[in-house]
Structure 1
Amino acid sequence: MARRATVRQLAAETGLSVATVSRALNGHANVAEHTREAVLQAVGRLGRRAPSRRTDRATVYVRCPYLLTDYFGIIVSSIVETVELHDMDVLLNAGRAARDQVVLPTLPVRSSVDGAVLILPPEPAEDLAALRDAGFPFVVVDPRVPPPRDIAAVSAAHVSGARAVMDHLVRLGHRRVGIIGGPRDWLVTNARMTGYTAPLADVGVLPSPDLVCFVSDPTMEQGYQAARELLDRPDRPTALVGFNDKIAVGALHAARERGLRVPADLSVVGFDDSEIGRATDPVLTTVRQPLAELGRMAVTLLLRQLRGHELDALHVELATELVERASTAPAATGP
């Protein structure tokens, strides 16, 4: 596999110390912007094919700038296990603190890294395009923004998963359905909103804006707060759909607080099929995402790039499955 410019070569090119170059490449805050720019310009001059003293065992950089909870933890674990099956190493960058690190521009010149898997990357599309243009192999898992052209990505089939949820509720007679969406700027939020809208439109119902809330962070607490707002409306919804199972669990707490029986008075649906949703009373109806398979597929796409193969399908969507459990029932006809 091709190797990239080393830190020592960049230090010689810029006249900076090895330590300063290393800090600039790793996104440290105590590096002046003009210094960081000088290092990145040197990257462009030296190119990406400088020799390295490393062995031929490849290293995959895995970036997940979120807490490794059940959702992200499953994806990351699957990636690590699959990478190791292919006799490669993993360099993991994870946790909320990682969000503030300048990482993507540094990857093409890290001699210790051969490719990357980026999970829900918070960087703008322009940064992803720049990484692509640098010729660095990478795959995006669950893109946060619409990925630019010629970027490999894998995600769940969010539109069809959300449509299955609303089809289920519509069949049960629900017409006033409250939706607690994720962050407004996430691609997945827009995709699921598209899926929720279609079945309601099929029965002549336009989603009411007063029945839709968006949260900045899909947590149980924010789900609870959003559900309180929706359930306190004079004409409350007969069903609530959460962006994920955590939000749905928060909605269960808000319903119980108001004396509402689930599912007799209110149906509640989640997304992900996480362990927390299987531990509630009643157990959550939800959409099962193939989280482990997302990780395995990402590594497969990356391996094909590392081996010089051409990718016919750049954006792969994996099927979801509606899991009907005890938290949904026919819509209540009276108070």
Structure 2
Amino acid sequence: MSITIAQIAEKAGVSAGTVSRVLNGKNKENRPSAVKRSQLIRQIAIDHGYRPNQAARTVRTGRFGCIGFLSCSEPGADIFEVSLLHGIQRGLAETGDRLLMCELPMQGFEDAESIPQVLNEYTVDGLLIEYLYEMPDTTLQRIRDLSIPYVWLNAKKAHNCVYPNDFAGGRLAAQHLLEQGHQKIAYVSYHAADGYIHYSVHDRCDGFISAVQEAGFDPFETEISDGFVTGEAPAKARALLEGPDRPTAIICYERHETIAIWNAATSLGLRIPEDLSLICFGSDMMRNHTGLPVTTLITPFAQVGQAAVEVLHAEITQGMATRSPRAVAYAIEPSLSVGPPPVQP
């Protein structure tokens, strides 16, 4: 059986309150005697296998000290990047909370009673929700009725959400190409599927269009289709590049489009970046996955995770409120796929 705070206090010859403050990092150690006493208390706790009584802490603080990460087990219904989890853990290191993973099938998000059941089974103070599809109004209202703090991840909602600033990311990609002298710039996404398109598909495109038009040009091409679902991505990529009038630079929604474009360019004898410049978006550098040295807009999943914990912690400790969305900036990692446009004969 683990030693108690009272027993540690008896062994150290101090009050239980002093032991509690030391073990919770709240004791003032501004004198050598205080430092020595704290060291003794911590050593006694270690030697006797002290473990905090979470139940007692919950009663004392009114909190479980735990937040839930609610995601969907259906492929494509969430974006579960390891860097996102790293960012969440960094945020929790600041708040002192623990993380509990909760996963539901898609029908669980559509059933208004499933989430309340999760919250009954798992004692959490708030929820980080990552679900990319639209949740039914009945389920959303049921969550609100529970009066539990929640924050959306990677979803662009009216409030209480944290997501990558994909509009600004699209602008950043276009500006990088414009600075190289490109005027004929295209944007390609083959990720539309089953009538659902993640907000980032259009936001990246809209940001690209905004920057190009601001520079006094028109987008050469914007394609948003279900090329991967239908298997037409390779043919679509080739059709974009064959013929005398083609873009000199392409912004790819993600690395899968980049591979399709790169393969099509190679099959047509086009050189990168001498004949065609490429930029893509991704959770890390394109070359880490494919060996292709493509300039990449790094999706800030780690920063999104950490910021979401900060927002949720404010909800828990300061009271629930309608908090403005927080959009997290992209960073660009240059590589060898961008150069000036080819000289026209």
What is the TM-score of this pair, normalised by structure 1? Answer: 0.69
Q: Give the superposition deviation at 1:263.
A: 0.4
Q: Distance in 2 between matches of 1:127 and 1:80?
A: 31
Could you tell which deviates more after superposition, 262-271 or 186-195? 186-195
The 1:330/1:116 distance shift into structure 2, 3 A limit, reads same
Could you tell which deviates more after superposition, 162-171 or 180-189? 180-189
The 1:70/1:191 distance shift into structure 2, 3 A limit, reads closer
- Aligned equivalent of 1:240, options 235, 250, 264: 250
Match of 2:311 in 1: 301
**1:223-275 Cα deviation digits (max 9, x unpaired):** 64542232235522111111123322332122112221100111110112524
Q: Secondary structure at the match of 2:293?
A: coil
The 1:72/1:129 distance shift into structure 2, 3 A limit, reads same
How do 1:180-195 residues align onto structure 2 when only pairs under 5 Å count? 180-181=188-189, 182-183=191-192, 185-195=197-207
Match of 1:158 in 2: 166
The answer to whether residue 128 in structure 2 is matched with residue 117 in structure 1 is yes
Conservation of the 8 A alpha-carbon contact between 2:109 and 2:139:
no
Match of 2:70 in 1: 62
Gaps of 5+ in 1: 1-54
Q: Distance in 1 between matches of 2:276 and 2:204?
A: 21
The 1:255/1:120 distance shift into structure 2, 3 A limit, reads farther
In terms of Rg, which structure is larger? 2
The answer to whether residue 251 in structure 2 is matched with residue 251 in structure 1 is no
The answer to whether residue 181 in structure 2 is matched with residue 173 in structure 1 is yes
How do 1:1-335 residues align onto structure 2 when only pairs under 5 Å count? 56-65=64-73, 66=75, 72-79=81-88, 82-83=91-92, 86-93=96-103, 98-102=105-109, 105=112, 106-109=114-117, 110-113=119-122, 114=124, 115-124=126-135, 126=137, 129-130=140-141, 131-143=143-155, 146-148=156-158, 151-181=159-189, 182-183=191-192, 185-208=197-220, 211-216=221-226, 224-232=234-242, 234-278=244-288, 280=290, 282-309=292-319, 313-334=323-344
Structure 2 residue identity aligned to 1:213: E
Q: Secondary structure at the match of 1:256?
A: helix
Q: Distance in 1 between matches of 2:198 and 2:66?
A: 32
Structure 2 residue identity aligned to 1:307: T
Structure 1 residue identity aligned to 2:180: L
**1:253-310 Cα deviation digits (max 9, x unpaired):** 2211222110011111011252444455551111122211211111222222223435
Q: Give the superposition deviation at 1:76.
A: 3.3
Q: Distance in 1 between matches of 2:211 and 2:261?
A: 22
Q: Distance in 2 between matches of 1:100 and 1:84?
A: 33
Match of 1:52 in 2: none
What is the TM-score of this pair, normalised by structure 2? Answer: 0.67
Could you tell which deviates more after superposition, 62-71 or 109-118? 62-71
Could you tell which deviates more after superposition, 99-108 or 113-122? 99-108
Conservation of the 8 A alpha-carbon contact between 1:245 and 1:271:
yes
Conservation of the 8 A alpha-carbon contact between 2:241 and 2:247:
yes
Conservation of the 8 A alpha-carbon contact between 1:286 and 1:323:
yes
Q: Distance in 2 between matches of 1:235 and 1:81?
A: 49
The share of aligned pairs that are identical, in percent, is: 20
Gaps of 5+ in 2: 1-62
Structure 1 residue identity aligned to 2:258: A
